[in-house]
Chains A and B, each alone.
Chain A
């Protein structure tokens, strides 16, 4: 049955050749980033065709000046131009058009923010849709999409959070306890993220950041203890440890959310979308680590056993490396708020 479904899916993909054509070329890229009062920094990247810029041109909304940029410069891959434009009354409601796009088979990715505090939005312009009208109000879907992307971005940029999850993966090897640990980590940080974001918990950020670093040191020490054949706290009570530290990590996530701000009237939606984004990023990271581990085990089983077995050089090196780095962060962060 599964084979039949897979074959059917492959056949369906084969029946949509447009999917191939639309992605065969490098797309153009237009970005409008808030720069100052009523000002935006524009970056316009045109694909190259036979050594010359593609015959397309970005035209900004009528209220912007200048609407077009200077002559582009070749950066080795595409033609790039950048300029600052002033848009009286903002971008909202204005039309962004790509002249000449209708005569091409390429796409242009548009990324813009209507205000410095607004979440960046994205759109795709194609030969069929060469004009994009910047919406007055991003709408519920736009808000959700923006905060979801922010959540994914935050977890993937938060190396300390990812290292914590990695240590958890290395410590808890059976899938049931691992699932329990990851789930309780998720529940805990969702709870504290929500509580801190709406102001129920107010904790200064620097001590939280320091304790987040210490939580990684703790797990690194637990990994070394496991190497010596001793069962650590995390291996005996994985979900309890993950829950306790998850509460702290959630406070760290909340800081990122509070820096951006929550839209008035759409707080629950933004909070939910941000949290789902964090979860999606976390699941993506776990999936990649597990797949990589399985791939290495399939390719080099002996090496994999030597690197991942309790007491192995690989695990000890990882524990010492991550522990040292996290200890450094802890000292640095504590020093930061003491001084």
Chain B
């Protein structure tokens, strides 16, 4: 009886291992095939052809101070939270930003009104100055979801409609920038001073206040 049971166990293990191998193989083939499905790979020489739209979208935060402020504010805010919280907050931020990017690139939404993004920057900046135990997990997740949505919407609807390169560039740029910024602030907070993310937060809050003031002031020629 016990021999039969161990034989069944062995067979089960082998079947599961075999299943995992098949899944791994399928995944590898699928991932390897994806680049082949991108038609621009046919352009030799520059490998992917003109990457201008990809880089333009990727670097958009560097040309859009408000989007940059939101990214920096979110990264500074997360740098002051516990790792266990950031582990969940980061995917939430990236997921919402990705969905918002798809929505805005497909023309479903317009760019974020400046005043709203200004408020979000102010909120993220101020939140970055708060101690860790003042920000429950739910608040952290809600805040990063909100800033993620606004960061994704920031580039506005492109002229050419939904095209792969600018969309991928935007999502890639947001992901890379927020991760790099978070890590830089986090390391600086550990190695230099814990004040650093808070100081960055106050700068972002200041940018938010200025944007709100400019947006609200109809009489001032900007």
CB distance from B92 to the nearest CB of A (A): 13
Instruction: Check A31 for interface membership: any CB of B closer than 8 A.
Output: no
Instruction: Check B97 for interface membership: any CB of A closer than 8 A.
Output: no
When distances are taken between beta carbons in the complex, the residues of chain B under 8 Å from A317 are 27-28, 31-32
- CB interface residues, A 10-42, toward B, < 8 Å: 10, 13-14, 17, 20-21, 23-27
When distances are taken between beta carbons in the complex, the residues of chain A under 8 Å from B65 are 23-26
CB distance from B27 to the nearest CB of A (A): 7
B32 and A291: CB pair below 8 A? Answer: no
- The proximity string for A residues 307-333 relative to B, scoring 1 for CB distances below 8 Å and 0 otherwise, is 000000100110011011100110011
When distances are taken between beta carbons in the complex, the residues of chain B under 8 Å from A10 are 195-196, 199
Q: Which of A10, A50, A295, A300 has the most CB of B within 10 A?
A: A295
Majority secondary structure, B binding face: helix
- The proximity string for A residues 101-143 relative to B, scoring 1 for CB distances below 8 Å and 0 otherwise, is 0011110000000000000000000000000000000000000
Compute how far the CA of A2 lies from the CA of B46 in the bound complex, rounded to whole angstroms. 43
When distances are taken between beta carbons in the complex, the residues of chain A under 8 Å from B50 are 157
B44 and A209: CB pair below 8 A? Answer: yes
Instruction: Check B35 for interface membership: any CB of A closer than 8 A.
Output: yes
When distances are taken between beta carbons in the complex, the residues of chain B under 8 Å from A298 are 83, 183, 186
Compute how far the CA of A158 lies from the CA of B47 in the bound complex, rounded to whole angstroms. 7
B222 and A324: CB pair below 8 A? Answer: no
Compute how far the CA of A205 lies from the CA of B45 in the bound complex, rounded to whole angstroms. 9
A328 and B41: CB pair below 8 A? Answer: yes
A24 and B207: CB pair below 8 A? Answer: yes
Instruction: Check A299 for interface membership: any CB of B closer than 8 A.
Output: yes
Compute how far the CA of A292 lies from the CA of B182 in the bound complex, rounded to whole angstroms. 10
Known: A20-B203, A288-B180. A103 touches B221 (CB 8 A): yes
Known: A6-B192, A24-B210, A288-B176. A49 touches B36 (CB 8 A): no
Known: A3-B192, A24-B65, A298-B183. A54 touches B222 (CB 8 A): yes
Contacts A/B (CB < 8 Å), 18 sampled: A7-B193, A24-B210, A26-B65, A55-B221, A104-B221, A106-B222, A157-B51, A157-B55, A160-B47, A291-B179, A295-B179, A300-B87, A313-B27, A323-B32, A324-B32, A328-B36, A329-B44, A336-B44
List chain B positions with a Cβ less than 8 A from chain A: 24, 27-29, 31-36, 41-42, 44-48, 50-51, 55, 63-66, 83, 86-87, 90, 110-111, 155-157, 159, 176, 179-180, 182-184, 186, 188, 192-193, 195-196, 199, 203, 206-207, 210-211, 214, 218, 221-222
